[in-house]
Amino acid sequence: MLLIGGVDEAGRGPLAGPVVAAAVLLQEGQSVPGVRDSKKLSAHRREQLAIDIRESACEWSIGLATVAEIDSLNILGATMLAMYRAVDGLRRMPEHLRIDGNQKPALPVRCVAMVETLVGGDDLCPAISAASILAKVTRDDLMRQMHLTYPDYGFNQHMGYPTALHRQALRTYGPTPEHRLSFRPVREAAEYFQKYGPRGSEVSA
């Protein structure tokens, strides 16, 4: 049985929260009905498909890199680290590993797969498509949990992305420990908050 591995990430662009990667193993020729690039699916459909993927994939694993690691390594380095951890979490290694994008992360020594990068791979490779869905669903769940701790920021709505609501909340309340200070909008908001202080209740999450 030839195992095809797919790796993808979610959360490179947001201003807060970890970057999450997923690795999914499928048999050669296997696909999960309905699975496609996670960005082209509704949140509800992604959650339904994530259940199907976990049940039908030969194996799957999640890896993440924290906000501290993002700020220390930069977002690319942290993304590569999250991908490494996702692959390292697999009990079995694939014979062929396909990674979305054009850069290869370092891989565990026990992974001797033929490695291929695919730009737009989440639309081309079923294993990458499945990984993109698991990564996105996992990260969205983490952001909804973060909303419970920081309800004023609207994390359950924008998932950490730099929307107008999120930017205003940053200026109103200042960054949380979950914000990426290495990202310029967060640094600028921190400086704004330090200069002008709390701005009252301008934002409702």
The domain spans of the chain are 3-146, 150-193
Predicted local distance difference test score (pLDDT) of residue 204: 40
For the CA atoms of 25, 29, 35, 38, the dihedral, rounded to the nearest 10 degrees, stands at 60
- Say how many residues make up the chain: 205
Given strand 59-65, what is the order of strands in its sheet?
59-65, 19-27, 3-10, 96-100, 114-118
- Residues of the chain with pLDDT below 50 are 200-205
Predicted local distance difference test score (pLDDT) of residue 193: 86
Distances (CA, A) of 179 to 149, 155, 160, 187: 13, 11, 9, 9
Could you tell me the fold of the domain covering 3-146?
A: Nucleotidyltransferase; domain 5 (3.30.420)
Structure tokens at 165: 């609501």
